[in-house]
Amino acid sequence: MLPRGQSGLTNKDKGNRNMKDRLLKLTQHEYSPTQRLILLFFAGILFLALIPAALISASSPLDQALHLPKLVYEPVNGLLGLLFILTGLLFGLWSNYVQFTIGRGTPVPIMATQKLIVQPPYSYCRNPMALGAIVLYLGIAIWLGSLSALGMVLLPAICLLIYIKLIEEKEMELRFGADYIEYRRRTPFLFPRFRSSLVQNKEPNHEA
């Protein structure tokens, strides 16, 4: 039996390698456009219908139960909320479209994109999909004038961003290597940097 330092890989190392191999095999499988459209249809029902409906229906009872004041200043709530909703929806749909067409995948990890996308909106920030969803739901909370709705948006948003930073970015680095490291170096995490993206739009061309 070789000493540990000469044996190459420990059992933990082998387990990590096997897990990485399974992850790569899963994410490298390319699904058909029809399969991706079906998944996006059900994801759209969840994110564009069920979650907004839950926010709207739960906010008022929660505000009353927690004795939270309503922050309603018409027409500010309506106009600002609409601006947030439309901006978030634009970023979300744009990100979906780019992932579907250029990345040949979806935002859902089980049908991951096959390329590292560096074109807009991914040249503005690394997570335009998350940004769009957060802005969209913040718009609903602003429109409602509800502090509880605001909390229901911000707490999951913080958890999502922590997950992306600690887990998803490591997966991206594993999948795309030096290309992703360079993309991450030059592109903001969440808050967009609107600038000329000519340099960022050139190859390499894999996903986020």
Please tell me the predicted confidence (pLDDT) of residue 12. Answer: 55
pLDDT score of 23:
64
Task: Show the tokens assigned to 89.
Answer: 């929806």
Class of domain 10-186: mainly alpha
Cβ neighbours of residue 111 closer than 8 Å, sequence gap 6 or more? 31, 35, 36, 39, 105
Tell me which amino acid residue 106 is. Answer: T
Q: Which residues contact 36 (CB under 8 A, 6 or more apart)?
A: 100, 105, 106, 111
The model's pLDDT over 48-106, given as tens digits with 9 standing for 90+, comes to 999 999 999 999 999 999 999 988 888 999 999 999 999 999 999 999 999 999 999 99
Determine the pLDDT at residue 110: 87
CA distance 46 to 30: 23
pTM: 0.83
Could you give the angle at the alpha carbon of 41 between the alpha carbons of 29 and 190, nearest 5°?
75
Predicted pLDDT of residue 131: 97
What is the C-alpha to C-alpha distance for residues 68 and 146, in angstroms, rounded to an integer? 8
Handedness of CA 195, 199, 205, 208 (dihedral sign): negative
122-138: pLDDT as tens digits: 999 999 999 999 999 99
For residue 177, what pLDDT is reported?
A: 93
Mean pLDDT within 182-192: 96
